[in-house]
């Protein structure tokens, strides 16, 4: 048994979607969540700059003695996961491979759409991950940067948001996709709006559930699960001073989030 916490991080609020599923899958585990709200969004940034951010945040979590790290951000996963995998001697997992795996299992006509940040789209990370699983699947990607901005501002509903969503998704629907990957962990916060625009014939995919399944599997395989029946701690850090982290977090997680610690993490 191992009572060290799990570390989860994102550029901002989006990783809370992954965190929620992890808490469901492994409810006894202590968790430290880190949101880099001072530098959100990561999507428009150069991937080398994002990689630098990711390495610094990972070191911060490692110094908190976490036993496993989840990169709950597609752009960060694309930028740095392959380099982090062996660096700290603890498991580090991302969200792209689980999302790709789910899409492969859910497309009947082998045409998959992806809405994501510019960085994730430019990296072609989903194209590569899906191709490795099934090279016959066609992947069509659209960058949807405004949706990240809406979520970070706490705008999770309304006509303006719906119009923006449909403007991004309609070109993918014209490609006759039957599965749509929400390739940014912010997007499950507005999943019902995305599903409404996509229509009933499209399988909308979040990598959060599959990532949580991977976390549970790794903890068990490595024998580092926390004891059952304990009361776990949840600690939240952010780098921004004027974000909507607590408000949106409370809407999404309820009483699981009682406060957010603001820190100045030098990057």
Catalytic site positions: 73, 184
Instruction: Kindly report whether the peptide bond that precedes residue 41 is cis, defined as omega within 30 degrees of 0.
Output: yes
Give the largest Cα separation in the chain, rounded: 51
Distance CA 21, CA 70 (A): 12
Q: Give the number of other Cβ atoms within 10 Å of residue 151's Cβ.
A: 27
Place of tokens 């899906």: 130
End-to-end CA distance of the chain: give it in Å, rounded: 34
Strands across the sheet with 234-238, in order? 92-93, 68-71, 6-10, 31-35, 234-238, 261-262
Place of tokens 């150069």: 46
Strands across the sheet with 138-143, in order? 138-143, 111-116, 179-183, 203-205
Supply 85's token pair: 């995998």
CA–centroid distance for 96 within its chain: 8
Helices (H), the chain: 16-25, 47-63, 74-84, 96-106, 118-123, 125-133, 145-152, 159-173, 191-198, 208-221, 245-253
- As a 3-state breakdown, the chain gives helix, strand, coil percent values, each rounded to 5, of 45, 15, 35
């Amino acid at each position: 048994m191992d009572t060290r916490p799990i570390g989860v991080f994102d550029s901002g609020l989006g990783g809370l979607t992954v965190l929620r599923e992890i808490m469901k899958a492994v409810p006894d585990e202590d968790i430290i969540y880190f949101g880099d709200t001072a530098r959100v969004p990561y999507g428009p940034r150069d991937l080398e700059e994002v990689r630098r951010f990711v390495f610094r945040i990972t070191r911060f979590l490692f110094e908190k003695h976490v036993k496993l790290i989840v990169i709950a951000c597609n752009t960060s996963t694309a930028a740095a996961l392959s380099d982090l995998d062996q660096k700290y001697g603890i498991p580090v997992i991302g969200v792209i491979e689980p999302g790709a795996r789910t899409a492969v299992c859910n497309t009947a006509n082998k045409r998959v759409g992806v809405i994501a940040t510019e960085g994730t789209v430019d990296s072609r990370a989903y194209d590569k991950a899906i191709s490795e699983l099934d090279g016959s699947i066609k992947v069509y990607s659209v960058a949807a940067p405004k949706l990240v901005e809406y979520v970070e501002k706490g705008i999770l509903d309304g006509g303006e948001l719906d119009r923006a969503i449909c403007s991004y998704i309609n070109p993918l629907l014209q490609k006759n996709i039957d599965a749509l990957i929400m390739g940014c962990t912010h997007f499950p916060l507005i999943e019902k709006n995305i599903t409404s625009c996509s229509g009933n014939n499209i399988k909308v995919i979040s990598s959060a559930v599959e990532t949580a399944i991977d976390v549970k599997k790794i903890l068990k395989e490595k024998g580092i699960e926390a004891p059952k029946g304990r009361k776990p701690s949840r600690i939240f850090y952010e780098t921004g001073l004027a974000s909507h982290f607590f408000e949106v977090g409370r809407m999404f997680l309820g009483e699981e989030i009682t406060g957010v610690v603001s820190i100045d993490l030098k990057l």
